[in-house]
Amino acid sequence: MKKRANILVTGVGGIVGQGIIKCLNMANAEERSRVKYGIIGADSSSLAAGLYMVKKAFIIPKANNSKYIHTLIDIMKRNKVTALYVGTDPELLIISKNKKIIEEETSSKVLVNPLNVIEKARDKWMTFRFLKENNFPCADSVLPEHLPSFLVCHKFPLVVKPREAFGSVQFNVVNDRVDLDYAISRIEKSGWRPIIQEYLAGEDNEYTTGVLLDTQFGRVISSVSIKKYLKFGQTYKALVDDFIEVRQLSEKISRAIGARGAINIQSKLSDGINKVFEINPRFSATCPMRSVAGVNEPDLNYRNAVMGEEIKLDSYRKLVCMRYWDEVYIEKQKYEEIIRTGIVT
């Protein structure tokens, strides 16, 4: 008999939160699955599609709102939630900082990485320093104050982006010094801190690797590397295959940084070297692809962290994936009621 468990997924308006929902629904549909998930969604926007992909959902304050943590705790207590999944980057820090109080108040598991891992991975300069100090191949990077010496070693084009941003926010490929200075200025005026990276050329050489680690001991539970093809910063075509060297490097980095649970390593093959250029300390937006391949990371994470299972997966299906748009519809009268109550049922 399957164990029943209510879980809460935040940020269900985004591709990561929706991906977690997809994975848990796949687990529910699997006859051999050990858990039947009652999926509850949450987002700050009433127009978040994921709110309408689950049986129950809540509209909540944004992560920077003083009522955010209290609201999560209240929802989790009233709905007997046993685990919290985080679906957006802005929520990671605040939830990790409040992990202890959330778990104590709700008797649930908060499925996020340790705070120091999140801080190191979300700041791209700290990520670069970590990779460099540990002799991992990575995209060479510099801060604006040390730019002159960097330009001696690296020719245009270059990449300019914020240290703390995510996705393709303020991502720039610049071809000369004028464009470079403008991109730096624009990022600074937006309130971000810029970082400059070497440009890793090519469109058929980029990988996203999802690694899942035991939440207690940090052992690798699974790793799946995907060669990805991007459109507007998101993977829209993908090849799931062995990519053993890419996986092995990602596993080493995940252990070295001290990850617990899910982490995502972004890398690109350049001059025969697989160079890491970003680490996301959370589930990847491509986690549904891994689930179809036989590695359901959100399900495995729950079973390991909450149920104490010791799990190790070494193989998965090899697949080609093509993404497409889909829609969610809701009657206007019902939508207006949801806006009034903040609850989706």
Q: Are residues 82 and 145 in the same domain?
A: no
Nearest Cα to Cα of residue 86 among 279, 338, 262: 262
What per-residue confidence (pLDDT) applies to 166? 75
Q: Are residues 104 and 144 in the same domain?
A: no
- CA–CA gap between residue 153 and residue 161 (Å, rounded): 19
- Which among 149, 170, 198 is the end of a domain? 198
What per-residue confidence (pLDDT) applies to 232? 80
Q: Are residues 157 and 87 in the same domain?
A: no
Q: Are residues 105 and 172 in the same domain?
A: no
Residue 79 lies in a domain: yes
Q: Are residues 101 and 186 in the same domain?
A: no
- Taking only the tens place, the pLDDT of each residue in 159-195 is 999 999 777 789 999 999 999 999 999 999 999 999 9
Residue 245 lies in a domain: no
Residue 31 lies in a domain: yes
Range(s) of the domain holding residue 175: 140-198
- CATH number of residue 24's parent domain: 3.40.50.20
* Radius of gyration in angstroms for the set of CA atoms belonging to the chain, rounded to a whole number: 20
Rounded to the nearest integer, the mean pLDDT of the chain is 97
Tell me: pLDDT of 1 over 80: no
Nearest Cα to Cα of residue 99 among 215, 233, 221: 215
- Taking only the tens place, the pLDDT of each residue in 189-229 is 999 999 999 999 988 999 999 999 999 999 999 999 999 99
Q: Are 164 and 192 spatial neighbours (Cβ–Cβ below 8 Å)?
A: yes
- Which among 151, 177, 198 is the end of a domain? 198
Q: Tell me whether the omega of the peptide bond preceding residue 157 falls within 30 degrees of 0, making it cis.
A: yes
Q: Are residues 33 and 107 in the same domain?
A: yes
Tokens of 253: 């980095």
Number of structural domains (the chain) is 2
> What is the sign, positive or negative, of the torsion defined by CA atoms of 76, 86, 122, 46?
negative
Q: Are residues 12 and 78 in the same domain?
A: yes
> Strand 234-240 relative to strand 220-231: parallel, antiparallel, unpaired?
antiparallel
* Span 270-284, average pLDDT: 97
Residues recorded for the chain: 345
Residue 252 lies in a domain: no
Query: Please, which residues have CB within 8 angstroms of residue 293's CB and are 6 or more apart in sequence?
Result: 224, 240, 316, 317, 318, 319
Q: Per DSSP, which regions of the chain are E strands? A: 3-10, 35-43, 56-59, 81-85, 109-110, 141-142, 158-162, 172-174, 194-198, 206-213, 220-231, 234-240, 261-270, 273-280, 319-322, 343-344
- Taking only the tens place, the pLDDT of each residue in 63-98 is 999 999 999 999 999 999 999 999 999 999 999 999
Tokens of 257: 């940084």
Residue 117 lies in a domain: no
Find the range with the poorest average confidence among 12-16, 200-204, 283-287. Answer: 200-204
- CA–CA gap between residue 130 and residue 134 (Å, rounded): 6
Q: Are residues 165 and 100 in the same domain?
A: no
Q: Are residues 106 and 179 in the same domain?
A: no
Q: Are residues 46 and 100 in the same domain?
A: yes
Query: Please, which residues have CB within 8 angstroms of residue 273's CB and are 6 or more apart in sequence?
Result: 137
* Alpha carbon 74 to chain centroid, angstroms: 25
Strand, coil or helix: what is 189?
helix
Q: Are residues 89 and 148 in the same domain?
A: no
* Span 86-114, average pLDDT: 98
Tokens of 327: 């829609």
What per-residue confidence (pLDDT) applies to 234? 86
What one-character DSSP code corresponds to residue 175?
-
Residue 304 lies in a domain: no
- CA–CA gap between residue 46 and residue 64 (Å, rounded): 18
- CA–CA gap between residue 79 and residue 77 (Å, rounded): 5
Query: Please, which residues have CB within 8 angstroms of residue 22's CB and are 6 or more apart in sequence?
Result: 288, 291
Q: Are residues 94 and 181 in the same domain?
A: no
What per-residue confidence (pLDDT) applies to 40? 98
Residue 175 lies in a domain: yes
* Span 254-267, average pLDDT: 98
- Which among 175, 198, 221 is the end of a domain? 198
- Packing angle between helix 15-29 and helix 297-305, nearest 10 degrees? 80
- The neighbouring-strand residues paired with 301 are none
- CATH number of residue 166's parent domain: 3.30.1490.20
Residue 131 lies in a domain: no
